[in-house]
Amino acid sequence: MDPKRALWLALQGLAVVVFLALLLGQVLGQPILLSYVTTDSMEPALSPGDGFVAVPPAIAGDVGPGDVIVYEAEQIEGGGLTTHRVVEETERGYVTRGDANPFTDQDSGEPPVQDTTVVAVAWQPTGSVLAIPGLGTAVEWIQSTLESIQRTVAGLLGTDAVLGVQGLGYLVFAVTIVLYVLIGMFDDGKHRSRSRGRDDGTNAHLVAVALALVVVLAASAAMLVPAGSQEYGIVSAEFDSDNPTTIRQDSSGTLPYGIDNNGFVPTIVVLEPGGEDVAVNQSQTVVPARGTANATVTVTMPPETGLYRYYVTEHRYLRVLPTGLLLALHDIHPWLPLLAVNLVVGLPFYAAARLFLGTGRIRTRSRSTRRSGRLVPWR
């Protein structure tokens, strides 16, 4: 292959990956591969609108002082994702601060950051964050465009079913099917180039990969959006209380944990306690399509009084493989069932697309073609 064409294809592939990462990040509400900042609290490392490579904690390894992390804040700026640097590690959690701030987040009332609330670590290849100028503007444009499209479609159809994250998943799937059909209409199987020396047209392999990635994106959103960490703020008190979030010191109490499945595919849910003082009954369950399930969380309070925070991490996997297999893969690593489900969903769609589109290059129909300097009718 011509080196220039190879480079062009590589750039196209990178652009697709970046776009899907930004789109998936907006769907999930957390950084996927890329993230950005909107304030000046991290200057000069990151200015407002600058992006950076967001490495998942499982890949980044142990977090320590000097690392720039993205975590779920509870207090500062009303809560939500915050990108600040770890300045100290204590027994209660991480102490964080924006580089431009004169005080730590914990001085502002934010609890120490726990590992369960860290969603990404900024990549620092040379000891400092690799900034990507203008990435935030692109992400916000994508977000506003998606919301505008959803509102328009909702108005045309007269339903709110296409709004929100789940509605976006429906739209993504619908657009995929439409593209699938339209590409097949343009390519009737007779006008494909079988010569390697011609570069015009669209590579059928790349089109099939792009369509499969869109389906994988929808499946990933269905598994990752409802999952995550559930936090319980429990008061250790000197007295008994009817309030489930107030428990007598040095004793245990239970809290309900409801699980909803609003999708059309049965889902396997795995609940993991976030510490030795937390236990979950019915930690593994299959929730039917459009159904619900219930579990309970038991927390053990320390002898000291005060407010304590406990966590339960929820993992979800579409039941497109045997339950035992998905649970066995989860025991090895929580990401393995996600990968397996995406392969089961994506590979058949890719194979079907290749059979539908054929090999070679896809080209639109034309009534004429130019040969030897003359315009010759298409036959």
Average pLDDT, the chain: 79
Do residues 320 and 344 make contact, with C-beta atoms less than 8 angstroms apart?
A: yes
Beta strands at 51-55 and 118-122: parallel, antiparallel or unpaired = antiparallel
The rounded distance, in Å, linking the Cα atoms of 85 and 106 is 12
Block mean pLDDT (10 aa), the chain, length 379: 66 62 57 81 92 84 91 82 93 92 91 87 90 82 77 78 63 64 55 46 67 76 78 90 91 91 87 89 90 92 90 91 94 90 87 69 48 44
Q: What is the pLDDT of residue 97?
A: 95
The rounded distance, in Å, linking the Cα atoms of 174 and 179 is 9
- The pLDDT tens digits of the residues spanning 184-236 come to 555 544 444 444 444 444 566 777 777 777 778 778 777 877 787 888 889 99
Region 3-135: CATH code: 2.10.109.10
Q: What is the pLDDT of residue 361?
A: 55
22: left (phi over 0), alpha (psi -120 to 50) or beta: alpha
- Annotated domain spans of the chain: 3-135, 228-319
228-319 CATH choice from 2.40.50, 1.10.8, 2.60.40, 1.10.3470: 2.60.40
What's the length of the chain? 379
Backbone angles phi and psi of 189, in degrees to 5: 90, -10
Q: What is the pLDDT of residue 10?
A: 67
- The pLDDT tens digits of the residues spanning 38-71 come to 889 999 999 998 989 888 887 888 899 999 999 9
